[in-house]
Amino acid sequence: MGGSMGFLGKGVPPTQMMNMVMGSLYKQFTQKAINSFDDFHVAVLDIFNNFNSALPGRHFDFPTPDQIKACFARWKEAKDEEEKKKLFIEFMSKSVKPSKLDDVTMITGIVSPPAAMAAKRAGENVPQLKLIKLIPDVIFVPTVTILAIVSAKLSRRMYLK
């Protein structure tokens, strides 16, 4: 009785949860026919895509193609299914890293809505921009915010290369 009551307050222990998740991931992974590196790559990317679409809030970065190639080479050399499963679980546990939000994106996301509203109010008084009054705030502000975040990310990515 005491052993079963221990789960009530704490939930499933982390190791059990990890084994359960990795087992179901490997089952999903092996349902696809994997004959080449491209098939392997698509299957891994599909799993990460499912992670990112299913889990709200936090997203995970994809492993690099070089990491996937190295894993595929070891996975291909594995003799039995149990060894392949062990390699896959090891690869996934090392590769699943939460993506980090940089400060520029965060600041742009916070500053752009008030700046968009100020720009819209200022633009309504300019005769050449009278058309801006026709666009509702509900559409204008999110659109400007998204464009500002995308441009900040793209300019940052181009600058870092």
Contact status, residue 47 vs residue 29, Cβ threshold 8 Å: yes
Instruction: Give the up-direction half-sphere exposure of residue 127: CA atoms within 13 A in the CB hemisphere.
Output: 0
Q: Distance between CA atoms of 85 and 80, rounded to whole angstroms?
A: 9
Q: Distance between CA atoms of 87 and 30, rounded to whole angstroms?
A: 13
pLDDT digit string (tens) for 109-119? 899 999 999 99
- Whether residues 55 and 91 share a domain: the answer is yes
- Whether residues 77 and 129 share a domain: the answer is no
pLDDT of 1: 44
Q: Distance between CA atoms of 41 and 60, rounded to whole angstroms?
A: 16
Q: Of the residues 77, 96, 115, which one is the last residue of a structural domain?
A: 96
Give residues with Cβ within 8 angstroms of 16, minimum separation 6.
none
- Whether residues 29 and 90 share a domain: the answer is yes
Q: Which amino acid does the sequence have at 105?
A: T
pLDDT digit string (tens) for 32-84? 777 788 888 888 888 777 767 765 566 677 788 888 888 888 888 887 888 88
Structural domain boundaries enclosing 118: 103-160
Instruction: Please report where in the chains the tokens 């990795």 appear, as a residue.
Output: 22
Q: Of the residues 50, 72, 96, which one is the last residue of a structural domain?
A: 96
Instruction: Give the up-direction half-sphere exposure of residue 71: CA atoms within 13 A in the CB hemisphere.
Output: 23
- Whether residues 32 and 65 share a domain: the answer is yes
**Domain count along the chain:** 2
Give residues with Cβ within 8 angstroms of 18, minimum separation 6.
93
Could you tell me if residue 77 is inside a domain?
yes
Could you tell me if residue 5 is inside a domain?
no
Q: Which amino acid does the sequence have at 90?
A: E
